[in-house]
Amino acid sequence: MPVTVLLVDDEPLVRMGLRAVLEAQPDIEVVGEAADGAAVVPLVRQLRPEVVAMDVRMPLLDGIEATRAVLRTVDEPPKILVVTTFEDDEYVYEALRAGADGFLLKRARPAEIVHAVRLVAEGESLLFPASVRRLAGRYGAGDRPARTALERARLTEREAEVLRLMSSGLSNAEIADRLVVGAETVKSHVSAVLAKLGARDRTQAVIAAYESGFVEPG
Amino acid sequence: MPVTVLLVDDEPLVRMGLRAVLEAQPDIEVVGEAADGAAVVPLVRQLRPEVVAMDVRMPLLDGIEATRAVLRTVDEPPKILVVTTFEDDEYVYEALRAGADGFLLKRARPAEIVHAVRLVAEGESLLFPASVRRLAGRYGAGDRPARTALERARLTEREAEVLRLMSSGLSNAEIADRLVVGAETVKSHVSAVLAKLGARDRTQAVIAAYESGFVEPG
DNA sequence: GAGCGTCTCCCCCGGCCGGGGGAGGCCCGT
DNA sequence: ACGGGCCTCCCCCGGCCGGGGGAGACGCTC
C-alpha cells in the first residue's frame, strides 16, 4: 500500500506542485490538503496520513505550532516533514525542536522531494538538507533538535562505529583496516549510515554527526 | 636551496628512518640531529634549520617543553613538526598549544612524511593527521590549538568562503552555482584549501573546520 | 522452525573528486 | 613598469565513492 501524505501549505501553487510530484509516484498517495495550520489536527485525525508535509509560515497557526499540536494531541502521530525555503531557516530549527522529522527544501528537485517523503515514511530521519549548516549558532545549549533526529535514525552499533571513524577522517579502506573487515563491508555500513541520516555523501554525514552532537569538536 | 631540517628524537632508529626518508629528496636536507629536548635550543641557534621534527617523549626535556623553549628564545624560530605515534596523542595537543605547526605520525608512509615537511616549510599548517579526532574532548574551552593552526593556514577570503560552503555539505557543483563561478574554479579553491589544511579530502577539511572552531555546531 | 535484524562479503557501474600542470586577467605595492 | 598574490578557467587522468542489487551466516524472537 502506498505512503499517504497530507499537504499543508497556504499557497495553492506549492500544494499543486507537491501533489504533482508526489502523485507521479505509484507508491505515494496524497490524501488531503490544508491551507493553514489550524486545519491540520482535525484533518490528521480524519485522514490519518503517514506523512505531513508542513509549511512553516502559514496563517492562523504556523508550522511549528501545528507540529506541536499534532504531536501533542494525536495518537500514533504522522511523520512531520517541514517544507521550507532558504529564507525561513530560523523557523525551521524550532519546528525540529517541536518534533518534526525532517526538512524539505521547496527548491529541491522532484526526485529529492520524493526521496524525502519515502525516507520519513520509513521512520528514518532526514537530517541533512543542504541548509542545515545555516542553523548553526541558533540553538540554545542543551536543546539540539538534531541530536534527537540523529537518535531517531537508529544506527546499529556497527554503523555508529563506522560513523565515528568517518568523522575522524578515515577513508573506507582505512576503516576496513581498523575494524578488520573487508572494504565491501564498510561500504555497506557507510551506505546504511548515509541512508539513515539522509546524507548524500560522507561529508554530509560527518557534518550531521557534528551538528547533532554525535561527535564533538574540541 | 633545499629545506633544512633538524631531527629530534631519542631513538636513533627513528632518526635514521627519518633521515633516510628525507635525504632521499633533493629539496630536503637534514642538517642535524638531537637525542633529547635539552639539546634543541643550542642546535637551533647554531644550525638555524627551517623545520624541526620533534619527538614528544624524550629525556631531559620533552617535546612540548622543547617547543616552548625554542619559540620563546629564538628569533625567527623554525617550524615545529611534532613527531608522534598514536599512543601519545594526549601530549600532542599540548605541543600544538605550545606553538607547534603540525603533526607527523611515525607510521605515516614516506611520501606523507616528506609532504608534511614541505608543507610546514612553506609556512602552511598540517592540521589533519589521521589522529586529530582523538584529541577531541581534551582541549580546555577557549584554548584550542587547532584554531590557531587553522589561522596559520592563512586561507584567502575566497578559500575561506569555499571552506564554509564545503562545511555546509555542498558539492563542488553546488558551490560553483552559489558563488556564480565555474566548476573548475571551485576545484582550484578546494585544492588550495586541502593543501593548506593538510587535508586529504573535503571530509577531512570539514572536520578540521569544526575542530578548529572555524565553523561551529549548534 | 520460521522469521527478522545484523554483519559480512560480492559484482557492476557511473560520477564526483582530487592531483598535476598550465594560463590569463586583475589589483596592489615596489 | 615589473612582480606577486589572488581569482578565474582549462585539460587529462586515476581513484575513491556511492547506488543498486544480491547473498550467506549468525543469533534472537515468536
Residue A136, pLDDT score: 30
Question: Does residue B115 fall inside a structural domain?
Answer: yes
Q: Do A96 and A203 have their domain in common?
A: no
Domain extent, residue A86, equals: 3-123
Q: Above 90 in pLDDT, residue B215? A: no
Q: Do B93 and B194 have their domain in common?
A: no
Residue A48 main-chain phi, psi, to 5 deg:
45, 55
Q: How would residue B131 be classed by pLDDT, with cut points 50, 70 and 90?
A: very low
Question: Does residue B102 fall inside a structural domain?
Answer: yes
Show which positions of strand C are touched by protein (CB under 7 A): 5-11, 16-23
Q: Above 50 in pLDDT, residue B78? A: yes
- When CB atoms are compared, the residue of B130, B199, B210 closest to A210 is B210
Q: Above 80 in pLDDT, residue B13? A: no
Q: Do B102 and B20 have their domain in common?
A: yes
Find the residue in B nearest to A170 (Cα).
Answer: B130
Question: Does residue B131 fall inside a structural domain?
Answer: no
Q: How many residues in chain B?
A: 218
What does each C-alpha distance from B139 to A195, A216, A218, B97, B128 come to in angstroms?
33, 11, 5, 9, 16
Question: Does residue A216 fall inside a structural domain?
Answer: no
Question: Does residue A131 fall inside a structural domain?
Answer: no
Whichever domain contains B167, its CATH number is: 1.10.10.10
Residue A76, pLDDT score: 80
Q: Above 50 in pLDDT, residue A199? A: yes
The H or E element that residue A80 is part of is strand A79-84
Whichever domain contains A101, its CATH number is: 3.40.50.2300
Q: Considering its fold, how many domains does chain A have in total?
A: 2
- From A162, A157, A159, select the one nearest A172 (Cα to Cα): A162
- Last residue within a domain, chosen from B105, B123, B141: B123
Q: Do B10 and B118 have their domain in common?
A: yes
Residue A107, pLDDT score: 59
Kindly list the residues from chain B whose CB atom is less than 8 angstroms away from the CB atom of residue A150: none
End-to-end C-alpha distance for chain A, whole angstroms: 47
Residue B167, pLDDT score: 92
Question: Does residue A129 fall inside a structural domain?
Answer: no
Average pLDDT over residues B10-15: 74
pLDDT digit string (tens) for A15-35?
A: 877 887 788 777 888 999 888
- From B69, B73, B94, select the one nearest B84 (Cα to Cα): B94
Q: Above 80 in pLDDT, residue A103? A: no
Return d(Cα A5, Cα A53) in angstroms, integer.
Answer: 7
Identify the residue with better confidence: A73 or B45.
Answer: B45
Residue A22, pLDDT score: 85
Q: Do B50 and B7 have their domain in common?
A: yes
Residue A34, pLDDT score: 87
Identify the residue with better confidence: A49 or A3.
Answer: A49
- When CB atoms are compared, the residue of B139, B146, B218 closest to A136 is B218
Q: Do B46 and B97 have their domain in common?
A: yes
Question: Does residue B70 fall inside a structural domain?
Answer: yes
Chain mean pLDDT for chain A = 76
Residue B143, pLDDT score: 37
Residue B144, pLDDT score: 39
Q: Above 60 in pLDDT, residue B88? A: no
Mutate to test the interface with A, among B86, B128, B133, B175 (most CBs of A within 10 A): B133
Question: Does residue B216 fall inside a structural domain?
Answer: no
Task: Give me the amino acid identity at B208.
Answer: A
CA B121 to chain CA mean position, Å: 10
Q: How would residue A96 be classed by pLDDT, with cut points 50, 70 and 90?
A: low
Give CA angle at A214 (A78, A96), nearest 5°: 30
Q: Kindly state the cell numbers that stand for A48.
A: 490519518
Residue A216, pLDDT score: 74
